[in-house]
Structure 1
């Protein structure tokens, strides 16, 4: 009720409506008339009361005065009106302070001074003066001010310390500013005196340092607008806030930090009901140093005197907790920006210790994003600058000398690829060589392996590849690295007991066989593990991906012409193999990159991902290196037969060889059709033994060429249009059937096709048709198929001119792309022999069939035919 009356009177005294007020004089009349009313002005009293205490003989004389607008009025001259006001001239002042009212009543009508006998003074002082000392200035004229020796003896000024006491009052928190003088603590908003007694028993008065105290109040007022309002009211000796505002971390952490920075000691924070928060704002100190393969980020996290280990902090960050428990049981507050910052730190880290994290150097592009420049050691700054310059201008890196063990020549862009591999190797960074098909990824790798051996890297390299490519790699190794000791792990008894991989330079194994042999291979630490056609591990949940990651090596390389076949998730497994941790966890990569990029075409995320992987992927298209390339590339893919197909081929080859052996030269020339039939049958088996009609033993045999071809088309269908030529329509039918099973759209042109023009037009214009199957006779001439840039010759014709005519269907005027022609050859067969003989005797290409396709009787020579057969 008192609070309500006080508030109401205060509101009236402020007179916001500017009303006229009149004071009724009861002494003149109890009735209100014009003669009993006097105009008055209402005002709030902002004045101070001072009491002066002087000893006079056996008494203490006490005089009082109130200061209003710098004018002092004696308390003895004042009378309390209406229980809450005093009248001075025509101004009616509201006295809010109850102690002030009590004093005015006490001194009123007492004469000039109040006299208290010395026997009663001690009790009067205790019961009255000390109770009002916080709001009334008491001046003891008989107590001298402290001398310098007295001040020094008690360290009043030397040990000054501002304090802020926190107390609870129901749902509010009171903030009580205090100044400690030596051992005496004085509430700053009170008017209490500091009394002291020296060693001689002499009492003295210590002056309070009002300037220092005012500074403390000023620091408090800056932190909340409510404090200034409370100061203006002048009703309390403290400030106050509701708990929910006080414990708002966005407020008290900043306020406390500023106060503590200014030397104010805060007391009682953790004594507040249910409060276990640390009063200290977290601090981070970071210093990033350079190690051999790592950037070592020394990170110290503290909340006041308490430090926090990074391992403990990681748990809180991973749980997205806003608090972390400190050693003293309090909870440090983790701001949202801390959670984001440390999540980035921990995602980038390869290992986390109590006070540092290790970030692999292949994540150098992230260092600037993670840390401020001032946190980076000068050596780190220089290293980052050098790395970026070298990667941005890797073609101008110092040329790597190819050792003489490599028998071959590199085109300029291939030399640059070698320099890039060599540069990343020096940093122990993995690499993804993703050049377009036909640009010679194999030859670049072989040249690189030659440089590795020249550096005396004694450990072997393991090459993992599709089964269909083993023969091609073996052939290329024999051609370019003939001195290399190479082991091909194939066949049922491929790993003999006691086999020592260390005696070889290069070990080849298929993905299929690796799944079976991983327990043996994972025991060896290789110099390099290289994956060819690495898109075969693009599924991070696949057994292949899990298996290759069990292999141990100093470094890793992947080769692929199509790093992305379906979506950006294809990149995750492949890049994670060569630079583990670069892309984070599978879930992180999917949430941060795959979904935003593939589903929502997020350009920002795409740019971030591109910058992240850019240092580790080298991809040149044919257009990029056009100056270094012939307009037409011709390649050979060796398709090694599987057991069933090889058994059938060997059976027919023996039968045909026995036939030739039993005939003399003249007899052979007299039976050309028998020779043609025998050679044709062998060529058909090279394609697929299913081309032999009515042969029960061929029903279960697979086709190595169809398997290889489908695999090639699968990887290239999104970036290329392809022509597939075969002399045998029945082979085209088998290929068409295999394409249909894979859901790959294709067209077929044979001698029976009625709509030749429409087929060509549809293929040329429809981007959704990547494959055109054409019989050599029907489409070898007279067609313009410049939409395609890849030609597959499934069964090479004996006359190279006929093959060139087929290739020229796409390699002609109007072709804007570099053309790649690929011959599919079955090794250790009649096809393989023809290829070899063509290298030495160009006439062999016309020795069996002439340009018109008729049998060349002149070359039906027994020795030539026997050379074609094993």
Structure 2
């Protein structure tokens, strides 16, 4: 019957018993008559139509209606029936007395009990009824007393057995519930329907403990099973509820808790993070990756209770000769929480009685806090009986370290002592452990001491850079490291006044120019000359890393002239790319004409070191050093100077190895780009001028290269720069060469031709699918070669498709624009340098210039007459164009006749392009230099340009590499490049 919302009505909740699901509630609205009585006119409501009756429903009613929807048979059928069958078939099969699905029955029961418990909690002050057999929802009213009932469990033990029964009280009065047709409407927790009242219970009694007694006076426990029954049933009952016993004793006991913190290794193969909330070390140091498990328990008298136990009362059974004593231990939870807070305050978060830390962090924590906690009442010890059963026995006593550093003649002596409790260990004994990241050190008594994790950071460089087996020594050029150790209170340092003065100097002493130097030095060049003296006087090697075009050559020649005039007793060796020999000869003739110079190059050079004594300066190439290494290493040079020293960037190349074997009093390198491809370039060059400064190659790779290039580790970056800073002089053109004319940079966007665009899109689709699939299957690292291959193809097509496909007969939008602008520049009387990374591209441009009858000079790696090409361009007014490959002509050339520079195919590293531009924008240039970067629109070139700002955040001026950028590209970056 429909209930009218325009007339008074009441929401009611009706209890009924389902054949299979037990006691359930259903929600109804009932019409009210003029006398405010409920009528027989009613209507079932659910979440679907409850809104119609919202005028008389509150928020609790809406919750109740939704919950009751969930326990109706239709809802249960939909939720749990996984096969195609009718509702009746589902219930008949599931609840069949013999073949029914017991597991599913229990699952449904848990589902129903959870929701019934929620419903019963919400029914206070609601209209509740028992449903009539005819479905009438308001057959009999039921009340829910607000006061909870209590249960007392009685045990009476005699010589033969034990009787067990409960009594129930409500508001202090005993409830007679046995043989009264009482029913348990809900078991978890118990709700008892007795004489039209629904009672709930304190301590959330489980209804199953009351169910047997609804129609039974007591249960008999035979003597033969009483011990098992007492242990499994009675003891938990005593822990949670009120129990009255006769024939055995229940003793309530209270003690002050004493915390026991034990630790043990987490057994291998166990995923600690799956079991416990873990806290791991903040930095990945490749130390032993084992975990330490802490367990917290409390000693109460002679009883031990794990902190993981949530029960406030713990029961232990003592069997006496003729009975039992139940020791009812009442825990001091507040006191336990105070101990937990002491651990939490010290950053050990114990959850569920446990905490897991990385081994190194765990022992660092123990060393720092164990003694203090023991004074506050903690017992801290290793589990498993101090290393019994094959487990390691760990030392957790006090650890201290004293390190001293004293200056000797040409090095520092390092000494130190480590104390592990009563044991004194020489500091040098820890060297292999620190260097190999092994944190376990066996003490003389067999215990394992864990080396504090911070020592691996604080002292790894000291051990890596020091030399000696019996005693440790450190070279003088490691002064920055000595400073760090002293400033961090990690070592006591004693040194001479000369070195103390070096640590505190504010400005470099001004040195007079040698008399034989012809010419003048600009102020910043004079500062560079003074700096060369500074590193020489302290017997350090130096790296003059000024921008291209700032006069590294003239500063170096001034120093060499000074050495000639001040007692250099042997010749100096200057090594460079072959193409720069004549430039050095010309500059020396101009500024230092008194220097006796030997050009030690060519097939017919006199291969004898004995001739060197007749010269002040030997000029040679990297190739000759490699060929004549056996001869050259027999001579002790005054200076060995490497120009364009990035030539030795690969430390394992024959060139690098040959150069490092040479002997000299002083060492100097000259370069505008100390790093081209990898941070390892820096190691190779710095290890030449100051051997051992950055440790071994393997050490540098692990400690600096990987953290800086892969992890962008700022701490490691700063540390590296602190180590190299005293030995590098780096000035930017914008800082010092203020007299240079302006440099104007443009980006010229070129549209591809139709045929070019078609070729580009086909190649892009092919590589995009291939690369993204490879990243998905093998990861970004293993896909780098394919990515580079794909990017190379796309860059070539963006320039001119003929570079990738010799059969291509169409045109290139970029080539058209380059030729148009070249002719325009030349027609106005300017000279232009055209750079490309691809020799193939230069060949295509060359062919077009021939067709247009535009004269040019040309230089790539195979050009034999380099200097002649340079001279022609500089002096011949009819030659207005110079085609140059970036690799062959990006360094060492002085091309100030040009005031336009075209970069045809940009790549990641702007420093490489800057070098090319500096061929024209250097000392001697009188005109504004205009630079044009040609970009093919809607290609990977345009996207590379956009990514440069995002990806190339130069760590410093020294570390900027294409390889680093490629490694740092995310999958999203790659997708964008190929989109």
- Give the alignment's TM-score, normalised by structure 1: 0.46
What TM-score, normalized to structure 2?
0.41
